């Protein structure tokens, strides 16, 4: 009950969208036991909140920086163990798929991190809790906090459990070489465009309302396809995959 009381006094005054019981459940049921509350709060605090509030909460960018490095290490080690005989180039591409913004966003959504992120008013109005970049960065910050308190073994356990849960929900083996091929669509389209048109694909983007973007892909100066969504990076990947499939470029 002590942690719930601390949450009520140190966290909820700044964030009234959920109850202390909900956050206590997140801390006790999802995260490794005995994490210090100040680290959890730091991991959940976006810089927009730190700038706008009068609290002394540090933002999560330092923890995100640490978590990014720990995630790279854990995933690299896991791929090295799982894919014996696979060359460095393929392992690197598969790792990029596993730690890209879209995948980390899915991991964050699986944990329902959007419920707990502390955002400034501007980000809240712009639906910042749904932005892939903010979700992905917060997930990395959580990992950074776990590493500081519990070390590498607990961090590894946490990460692999989260990927396993995501694979179950998505019906996809994220560590397979097949998933790498799907992720690599943008790189493949670059190769094909240079071969056919003698130039790289051109991507044009513009920001729409509510944090959405429209991205267009042109080949040889001609519009091939366009998509709308919250992540420009993911839209480019989706467009590349669509164009390869529709044009049957191979």
State yes or no: is 140 an active-site residue. Answer: yes
Question: What phi and psi, each to the nearest 5 degrees, are found at residue 85?
Answer: 90, -10
Active-site residue, selected from the candidate residues 59, 68, 184, 238: 68
Where residue 112 falls (left for φ over 0; alpha for ψ -120 to 50; beta otherwise) is: left
Half-sphere exposure of 4 (CA within 13 A, CB side): 9
Write the DSSP string, 47-78: HHHHHHSSS-PPPSHHHHHHHHHHHHHHHHHH
Q: How far apart, in whole angstroms, are the C-alpha atoms of residue 133 and residue 108?
A: 10
Whether 68 is catalytic: yes
Spot the catalytic one: 42, 59, 64, 140.
Answer: 140
- Name the one residue in this structure whose structure tokens are 């730690």: 99
- The whole-angstrom separation of Cα 99 and Cα 68 is 9
Instruction: Give the active site residues.
Output: 68, 140
């Amino acid at each position: 009950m002590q942690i719930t009381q601390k949450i009520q006094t140190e966290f909820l005054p700044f964030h009234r969208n959920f109850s202390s019981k909900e956050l206590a459940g997140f801390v006790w049921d999802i995260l490794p036991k005995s994490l210090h509350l100040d680290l959890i709060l730091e991991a959940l605090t976006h810089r927009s909140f730190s700038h706008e509030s009068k609290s002394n909460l540090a933002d999560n960018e330092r923890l995100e920086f640490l978590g990014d490095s720990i995630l790279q290490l854990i995933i690299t080690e896991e791929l090295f163990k799982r894919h014996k005989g696979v060359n460095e180039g393929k392992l690197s591409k598969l790792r990029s798929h596993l730690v890209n913004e879209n995948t980390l966003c899915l991991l964050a959504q699986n944990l329902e991190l959007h419920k707990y992120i502390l955002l400034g008013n501007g980000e809240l109005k712009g639906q910042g809790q749904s932005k892939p970049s903010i979700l992905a960065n917060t997930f990395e910050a959580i990992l950074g906090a776990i590493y500081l308190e519990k070390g590498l073994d607990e961090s590894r356990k946490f990460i692999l459990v989260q990927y396993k849960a995501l694979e179950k929900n998505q019906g996809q083996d994220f560590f397979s070489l097949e998933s790498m091929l799907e992720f690599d669509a943008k790189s493949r389209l670059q190769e094909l465009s240079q071969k056919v048109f003698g130039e790289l694909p051109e991507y044009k983007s513009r920001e729409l309302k509510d944090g959405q973007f429209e991205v267009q892909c042109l080949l040889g100066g001609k519009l091939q396809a366009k998509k709308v969504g919250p992540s420009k990076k993911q839209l480019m990947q989706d467009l590349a995959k669509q164009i390869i499939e529709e044009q049957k470029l191979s």
